[in-house]
Amino acid sequence: MSGAPLPPDEARRLMTLAYYGILDTPREAPFDRIVRLAAHLLRTPVATINFVDQTRQWSKASVGLGDGAVHRQDSFCAWTILHDHPTVIENAPADPRFARNPMVTGDPHIHMYAGAPLVMPSGQRIGTLCVSDPQPHPLSADDLQALQDLAAIVVTELELRAYQQRLSLSLHAQQEHSAELQRSLEQAQALSGVHQLLDLELEPRDALLAVAALLGDALDADQAGICRTQGDDVEVQVSHVRPDLPAQHQPAAPGAPAAISALGLNRAPAPLYIHDLPALAAREGVPVSGDITQVAVIPAGQDPQGVTHLIVTRRRDHPVPEWRPADRSLLEAAGRAAQQTLDHHQARAWARRDALTGILNRRAFDEDYAALTEVPFTLALLDLDGLKQLNDTQGHAQGDKLLRIFAAALAAELGRSGAAYRYGGDEFVVIADPLSDDHLLEHVDAAVLATRQLSPLVGVSVGVAHSSEADRAALLELADARMYDSKRRRAVHRL
C-alpha cells in the first residue's frame, strides 16, 4: 500500500497551513459543533476535521474517534486534498488503495469514507471535513452538498480565527473574538435549522418564508423575505424585520416590487450581492425609497407558478458594511436547499396529477382519503355514461376531449368546497365538505351542461355517501353501490 501523491504545489500548501496556526491547538467549540452537525446531517458515526501536515494527518475536532494523528501515508484525507471536489470511497476494503490500510483492517474499520476539502481563499487545500462508517452507507447528492456546505463553514471559521488572532494585538481583541465566534455559531446553527425547516411538511411558500426569517435573524439583517415572480407580476413578502428598526425604515422591500423588477433583481439566475443599492439604482435610473444599501438576492427555485428568490437587506448604518464570505456561504447553502425542496415538491405534485385531464389522480385520492380526519365530509363516485360508445363511433380523441372538459368543469364547479379526482377510465371521485345529495348533483349537472357545449355527453351516474353513514372502507363501497344503482335506473329509464 502506498500513500497519496503530493500535490504539485505542496510547499505553498504547507505555508498556507502554517499561516492559520491551527496545528496542535486545543479543542475549540465552533469546530466541535461543526463535526456534530456533519455526523447528524449525514447520519454517520464518525465525523472529523483533519489537517494534512508534511508527514502526518492531525485531527482538530472529531465525533466517534479519539483525538490524535496518523501517518500521512495511511491518510484517506491525503487523497481528498488532491481535488477541489469531494472524495467518496464507497467500499474501502475493496479499493486497492485502502484494502490494507490500518484504519480499514483495524479501528475504526472504515468501510465508507467521504471527505470535502477545505479550500482556502488562496486556493490551497489544507485539510478536510470528512465522515466515515464501518458499514455500507450510500450518500445522496444532497448529503455531499451538505458536507461541502459545512466544509465552507470550517473555512470561514478558520478565516475568522486567523482574523481574531491578528485582532488579539489590539485592546478590543476579546470583544471582537466573542462577536465573531457567536456569529459563526449562529450561522452554523442557521444552516442546520434551514435543513430542518425544509424537511417539514410545509407548503413551499410557508417554508421559504420561515427560512428567510431564520436567515434574517442569523445574519442580523434589517429585513428578509421572498420575492415571487409570475410573468410580469412581482410579489414580495417580508418575514423578518429587525425588532429595533424604526417604523419609517420598514418598506416592504428595497424600493418595493416595482423597483425590484426595474433593477432585474427578480430575474437574477445566480446569487447577487449588492453593497450600494442607491448607487446601482442611480446608474439604472430607478428610484428607490428607504435607507437600504446592502441587498442579497438568492435564487430559491422555480415551479409552474413562478420563480422565487430569497431577499435579505441591510441599512446604510449597519455595523457590517458588506456581505462577508460567511454570509454568502450561508445564503447560498440555504438557496440550494430551497431549490431542492421546491424540485421535490413539484415532482410530488406532478405525481398526483392525471396526465390526461390535469386534475388529481387515483394516487392522490388514496393519499388524501387515507389522511382524512374525523371532520364530516361527503364522498361521491361518478361514472360517465356512454363514453365507450363515443370512443367506438367518434374515436378516442373525441373521448379524451370529453374527459378533459368534464374534469375541468367539475373541478371549477366544486371550487374550494371539494376536490375532484380521476379514479380511472371514465370514473371520477369527489371529496367535498358536507353537502346534500341534491346540492352535489347540482354541481355535477352544471359540469355536464358545460361539457355538452363542446363535446357530447349522455349523462353521469352518481353515488353519494356521507361520512356519518359508515366507516372509511365501507363508505367507498356504499358510494360505489349507489353509483351502480343510479346507472341501472338510468339505463332502464333510457329504454
Residue 242 has pLDDT above 90, yes or no: no
Rounded alpha-carbon distances, angstroms, from residue 241 to 161, 293, 294, 392: 30, 16, 15, 64
Whole-number Å distance between alpha carbons of 160 and 165: 9
Domains, the chain, in order of start with CATH, read 10-167 (3.30.450.40), 188-351 (3.30.450.40), 362-494 (3.30.70.270)
Calculate the CA 79 to chain-centre distance: 31
User: Which helix (DSSP H) or strand (DSSP E) does residue 70 occupy?
Assistant: strand 69-71
User: Which helix (DSSP H) or strand (DSSP E) does residue 444 occupy?
Assistant: helix 437-452
Position with higher pLDDT, 89 vs 68: 89
Across the range 2-21, mean pLDDT stands at 91
What cell was used for 231? Answer: 410573468
Position with higher pLDDT, 1 vs 338: 338
Contacts of 293 (CB under 8 A, 6+ apart): 275, 276, 277, 278, 314, 315, 316, 318
Q: Say what the pLDDT of residue 102 is.
A: 94
Sheet holding 306-315, edge to edge: 233-241, 223-230, 306-315, 292-303, 272-274
Residue 205 has pLDDT above 90, yes or no: no
Residue with grid cell 479550500, as numbered in its chain: 119
Calculate the CA 181 to chain-centre distance: 27
Q: Say what the pLDDT of residue 214 is.
A: 86
Least confident interval from 16-25, 126-135, 189-198, 483-492:
189-198
Among residues 339, 338, 366, 319, the alpha carbon closest in space to that of 180 is found at 319
Whole-number Å distance between alpha carbons of 278 and 406: 54
Q: With contact defined as beta carbons under 8 Å apart, do 72 and 96 qualify?
A: no
Whole-number Å distance between alpha carbons of 439 and 456: 24
Q: Say what the pLDDT of residue 248 is.
A: 54
What cell was used for 343? Answer: 424540485
Q: Tell me the pLDDT of the chain averaged across its residues.
A: 87
Position with higher pLDDT, 264 vs 50: 50
Whole-number Å distance between alpha carbons of 438 and 168: 81
DSSP per-residue letters across 144-157: HHHHHHHHHHHHHH
Residue with grid cell 417539514, as numbered in its chain: 200
Residue 33 one-letter amino acid: R
First to last CA, the chain: 88
What cell was used for 57? Answer: 494527518
Across the range 113-128, mean pLDDT stands at 96
- Give the β-pairing of 125-133 and 46-52: antiparallel
**pTM of the shown model:** 0.45
Whole-number Å distance between alpha carbons of 337 and 330: 11
Least confident interval from 166-180, 343-357, 376-390, 446-460:
166-180
Rounded alpha-carbon distances, angstroms, from residue 177 to 6, 32, 169, 190: 35, 17, 12, 20
Q: What are the respective helix, strand and coil percentages of the chain, to the nearest 5?
A: 45, 20, 30
Alpha-carbon Rg for the chain in angstroms: 30
Least confident interval from 156-170, 213-227, 304-318:
156-170
Q: With contact defined as beta carbons under 8 Å apart, do 429 and 458 qualify?
A: no
The per-residue pLDDT for range 396-439, each reduced to its tens digit, is 888 899 899 999 999 998 888 899 999 988 899 999 999 888 89
The Cβ of residue 258 has, within 10 Å, a number of other Cβ atoms equal to: 13
Across the range 452-477, mean pLDDT stands at 87
| 354 burial level (CB within 10 Å; 0-12, 13-18, 19+) | buried
Least confident interval from 141-155, 198-212, 264-278, 481-495:
481-495
Q: Say what the pLDDT of residue 381 is.
A: 94
Q: Say what the pLDDT of residue 335 is.
A: 87
For the stretch 419-446, what's the b/e string if a residue is b when 16 or more beta carbons lie within 10 angstroms of its beta carbon?
bbbbbeebbbbbbbeebeeeebbebbee
Residue 194 has pLDDT above 90, yes or no: no
Whole-number Å distance between alpha carbons of 366 and 430: 12
Q: Say what the pLDDT of residue 17 is.
A: 94
The per-residue pLDDT for range 76-118, each reduced to its tens digit, is 999 999 999 999 999 999 999 999 999 999 999 999 999 999 9
Residue with grid cell 477545505, as numbered in its chain: 118
Residue 252 has pLDDT above 50, yes or no: no
Across the range 318-339, mean pLDDT stands at 87
Handedness of CA 476, 477, 480, 485 (dihedral sign): negative
The length of the chain in residues reads: 495
Report residue 179's pLDDT band, with 50, 70 and 90 as the boundaries: low
Report residue 149's pLDDT band, with 50, 70 and 90 as the boundaries: very high
Q: Say what the pLDDT of residue 457 is.
A: 82
Report residue 250's pLDDT band, with 50, 70 and 90 as the boundaries: low
| 288 burial level (CB within 10 Å; 0-12, 13-18, 19+) | buried
Report residue 495's pLDDT band, with 50, 70 and 90 as the boundaries: very low
Report residue 305's pLDDT band, with 50, 70 and 90 as the boundaries: confident
Whole-number Å distance between alpha carbons of 182 and 407: 56
What cell was used for 295? Answer: 441587498
Report residue 195's pLDDT band, with 50, 70 and 90 as the boundaries: confident
Residue 184 has pLDDT above 80, yes or no: no
Whole-number Å distance between alpha carbons of 383 and 464: 12
Percent of the chain's residues with pLDDT above 90:
43
Contacts of 287 (CB under 8 A, 6+ apart): 255, 259, 281
Rounded alpha-carbon distances, angstroms, from residue 285 to 196, 259, 280: 41, 10, 9
Q: Say what the pLDDT of residue 255 is.
A: 47
Contacts of 386 (CB under 8 A, 6+ apart): 456, 457, 458, 459
